[in-house]
Amino acid sequence: VRTLAVWCPDWPVTAMGFAASVPVAVVQGGQVVAVSAAARRAGVVRGQRRGEAVGRCPGLVMVARDAAREARVFEPVVAAVAALVPRVEVTRPGLLALPVRGAARYFGGEQRLRDLVMQAARAAVSVPGAAAPVCGVADGRFAAALAARRAVIVPAGESGRFLAPFPVTVLGQPELAGLLGRLGIRTVGQFADLPAAAVLARFGLLAARAHALARGLDEEPLRTVTPAGELAVVTGFDPPAGQVGQVAFAARLLAVELAGLLAARGLACTQLRVEIGASDGAQCSRLWHAEDGLGAQAMAERVRWQLDGWLPTAPAGPPSEGPAGVTVLRLAAGQTVPADRQLALWGEATGADVRAARGIDRLRGMLGADAVLAGVVRGGRDPATRSALVPWGEPDSGQSVALPWPGRLPAPAPALIHRDLVPAQVLDAAGRPVGVTGRGEITGEPARLWLGGRWQDIVGWGGPWTADERWWDAGTGRRRARFQLLTAGQAGYLCAVEGGRWWIEAAYD
Amino acid sequence: MAAAGFLIVAGPLGGLFSGGGIRRGSVVAVSGATGSMSLLLALLAGAMADGSWAGVTGVPGVGVEAATQAGVPLSRLIMVPQPGRRWMQVAAVLVDAVDVAVVCPPARCPPGEARRLAARARQRGGVLVVYQPAGGLAGCPAGLWPDAADVHLEVTGPPSWRGLGQGHGVLGCRLVGVRLAGRRIGREQAARLWLPGADGRAVPAYEVARRDRAGSPPGVAAGARAG
């Protein structure tokens, strides 16, 4: 997905109200976590101890990190960009992403869209002399974020080449980066040159995902599909909650509830929509994204950030009615991925889940990802389509089982599916082959079944259930009728007849 | 994990096992002339009810929809239908990774290998299920597993389907006998089950039988004939 990223350099510094020309270091836990441009020129870098930083730059201003303030000050930037383009997604205060398609067409090209967004973002940063926001466009969020740092537009399909010279540390997995470093692999390009199967086998799932990013492949394109039944939790406040703390407390409970719903479905949430409504009718809806999935705590934190950023700017009601308060809070999982990808990062996975995930990794390494499968029930009529097998961990792209499928049979479903159809013959009592007319009528009562080299008597039969499948498509369209047959040995079969030929599709074993 | 020493089997099959489940580390053979797949699915559904994982290798035709109807959680079922020549290694990884590893040997298994796999299951506290459908179209004849299993779970005849007539109705539910025998089972256990029942789950036969006497045959809902 073509993505535009907006990056505000040194955001923790800007959020504290400092211009880029002032030597500033933002400190957390005795370590420098962000520096201004002036401090960087003097040799202060992230990760330094306080004393070391002061040694490099005697005039250095040190401030403690304030995450809530970073989020609060970022809100006007998000609002300004969201006014131009919908579906803006906040990765963290200081970095946001949005899908380009559509918007680029509307505004007349990616270049023009980028300029507009950059202008809007720059105007929204109220600190004079602060580092100006920059924008970049590339395929996928990951490449776009790096393109923003360089302020470039990477042409479609070129992301792999663009990423190649970056060091492997940009992949965001320090352990993996260390390991690769020891193997002499220092750039993203060198990592991308390794065969995918070998990376999976040797380093596991998380590394395989990093490898896909390194090759410039988009993070799963299917993710942009919003699940049909959105998972959401909502709570109301009556009387309206006027204090951030009160809402934040409710948000924590909601987050735990949503995380529970997701866990019960084996999903992890990578995009969270937080909607806050106020008593004066004002609303604030934001998308939060995290590649590694949002746990309950991370969700609650995003709500807190959004509250901090939005509440002070919400217009207060007339004095007689008191200030506007929050009346409704809704959390919805916008995008989800199967949770097994997140296992390494999820605290709450059980021992059995972790053990199974390791086993899946090993099997994939042995046989390839296409050999390790998960079962999915899909919409469709023929049994092999309904009982689908997909590579483990891949989101299913098949047709929904929830749709009505006329012509499908009620439970129980056949227990044994013959993916290679087994040819058969069916005769009536007089020994004539049984067929189905163009009007869906049977030409004789099935009496004997020839299957696997022998004849069996038929003691029960049902059908025909006819279905014109894909009749609009001359190539794959077909007209078949289905029957259930029960032999004297009480073996039940699901058969199909098509063009006068009989097949066993499945057995009620 | 091996706290109780048993893998609890929920549902009607659990009643057959003394202790309510399968002793961890044992080898269970599942077989039957017809209905062995339904029996396997019912066993998996029961054993996975409390969050356990299962893996199946070498069984290409598992009816996924039937599995869900039987109560098998697909999110915890790993399937490697075509392990090829490396089925032994695949089986070994599954035994390491899941609580219930189902294998269906594609060829006669050397006795030494079989013993090693069983020993691994014992050490890991898992359960190794050897699926041996007799004859049938699935094409995995019994006798490819050289060793005696600790427990034999078998569909005994004669099965009988309800719900399908001559040109009307649908296959609704099937009455079968299930037999449990083995080295560590004190007395041979047997039960009559609806396998599958009308909704796909295994049901003890007496429950449906009561309704059966009351009127309509079980599992044949009005208008069951779809489309």
Q: How confident is the model over A44-94, as pLDDT tens digits? A: 888 888 888 888 888 888 898 888 788 888 888 988 898 888 788 888 889
d(C-alpha A483, C-alpha A495), whole Å: 5
3-class DSSP state of A124: helix
Report whether A309 contacts A72 (CB < 8 A): yes
Q: Which of B161, B146, B153, B35 is nearest to B100 (CA)?
A: B153
Interface test with A, best of B7, B161, B171 (most A CBs within 10 A): B171
The pLDDT score that the predictor gives to residue B157 is 74
pLDDT score of B204 more than 70: yes
Is A387 in contact with B66 (Cβ distance < 8 A)?
yes
d(C-alpha A509, C-alpha B33), whole Å: 9
- In the structure, what pLDDT confidence band is assigned to residue A360 with cuts at 50, 70 and 90? confident
- The distance of A319 to chain B (nearest Cα, Å) reads 55
- E strand or H helix that includes residue B129: strand B127-133
3-class DSSP state of B39: helix
Q: How many of the other CB atoms lie within 10 Å of CB of A248?
A: 17
The total number of residues written for chain B in this structure: 227
Q: Name every residue whose Cβ is closer than 8 Å to that of residue B185 and which is 6 or more positions away in sequence.
A: B17, B18, B151
- In the structure, what pLDDT confidence band is assigned to residue B142 with cuts at 50, 70 and 90? low
Q: Using CB atoms and an 8 Å cut-off, which of residues 464-503 of chain A contact chain B?
A: 465-467, 484, 486, 489-492
| Cα angle A472-A476-A480, degrees, rounded to a multiple of 5 | 90
DSSP designation for B64: H
Tell me the DSSP string of A12-46.
HHHHTT--TTS-EEEEETTEEEEE-HHHHHTT--T
- E strand or H helix that includes residue B170: strand B169-182
- Count interface pairs A-B at CB distance under 8 A: 208
For the CA atoms of chain A, what is the radius of gyration? 30
The pLDDT score that the predictor gives to residue A319 is 39
The one-letter amino acid code at A108 reads G
Token code pair at residue A191: 């990592």
What phi, psi does A249 have (nearest 5°)? -65, -45
Sheet holding A134-139, edge to edge: A134-139, A2-7, A95-99, A89-92, A283-289, A267-278, A326-338, A231-241
Higher pLDDT, A426 or A411: A426
Average per-residue pLDDT for chain B:
82
- The distance of A230 to chain B (nearest Cα, Å) reads 19
Q: pLDDT tens-digit profile of A482-497?
A: 899 999 989 999 998 8
Q: Using CB atoms and an 8 Å cut-off, which of residues 242-301 of chain A contact chain B?
A: 265-266
pTM tops 0.80, yes or no: no
Which of chain A's residues have a Cβ under 8 Å away from the Cβ of B120? none
Report whether B46 contacts B22 (CB < 8 A): no
- In the structure, what pLDDT confidence band is assigned to residue A191 with cuts at 50, 70 and 90? very high
Is B78 in contact with A363 (Cβ distance < 8 A)?
yes
Which of chain A's residues have a Cβ under 8 Å away from the Cβ of B42? none
d(C-alpha A337, C-alpha A445), whole Å: 50
Q: Using CB atoms and an 8 Å cut-off, which of residues 386-445 of chain A contact chain B?
A: 386-389, 392, 406-419, 422, 442, 445
Q: For B78-128, what is the HEC assignment?
A: EEECCCHHHHHHHHHHHHHHCCEEEECCCCCCCHHHHHHHHHHHHHHCCEE
Q: Could you say which of A362, A484, A509 has the minimum Cβ distance to residue B35?
A: A509
| Cα angle B137-A366-A369, degrees, rounded to a multiple of 5 | 75
d(C-alpha A141, C-alpha A128), whole Å: 29
pLDDT score of B213 more than 80: no
Is B90 in contact with A366 (Cβ distance < 8 A)?
yes
Which of chain A's residues have a Cβ under 8 Å away from the Cβ of B66? 387, 412-415
Which of chain B's residues have a Cβ under 8 Å away from the Cβ of A460? 161, 164-166, 169
The one-letter amino acid code at B61 reads G
Hunting for tokens 């998960």 — which residue is that? A374
CA–CA distance from A240 to each of A232, A253, A281, A310, A321 (Å)?
Answer: 21, 17, 12, 16, 11
- In the structure, what pLDDT confidence band is assigned to residue A398 with cuts at 50, 70 and 90? low
Q: pLDDT tens-digit profile of B7-58?
A: 989 888 988 888 788 999 999 999 888 899 999 999 999 999 888 999 999 9
- In the structure, what pLDDT confidence band is assigned to residue A271 with cuts at 50, 70 and 90? confident
Burial B176-215 (b: 16+ CB within 10 A, else e): bbbbbebeebeeebebbbbbbbbbbbbbbbeebeeebeee
d(C-alpha A264, C-alpha A56), whole Å: 52
ipTM summary value:
0.86
The pLDDT score that the predictor gives to residue B1 is 40
Q: Does A453 touch chain B (CB under 8 A)?
A: no
Q: For A154-202, what is the HEC assignment?
A: CCCCCHHHHHCCCEHHHHCCHHHHHHHHHCCCCEHHHHHCCCHHHHHHH
Interface test with A, best of B59, B64, B160, B193 (most A CBs within 10 A): B64
| Cα angle A378-A354-A391, degrees, rounded to a multiple of 5 | 30
The pLDDT score that the predictor gives to residue A348 is 39
Which of chain A's residues have a Cβ under 8 Å away from the Cβ of B161? 460, 486, 490, 492, 508
Token code pair at residue A324: 């506007």
Most confident of the ranges A202-206, A467-471, B123-127: B123-127
Q: Could you say which of A366, A409, A413 has the minimum Cβ distance to residue B89?
A: A366
d(C-alpha A361, C-alpha B96), whole Å: 12
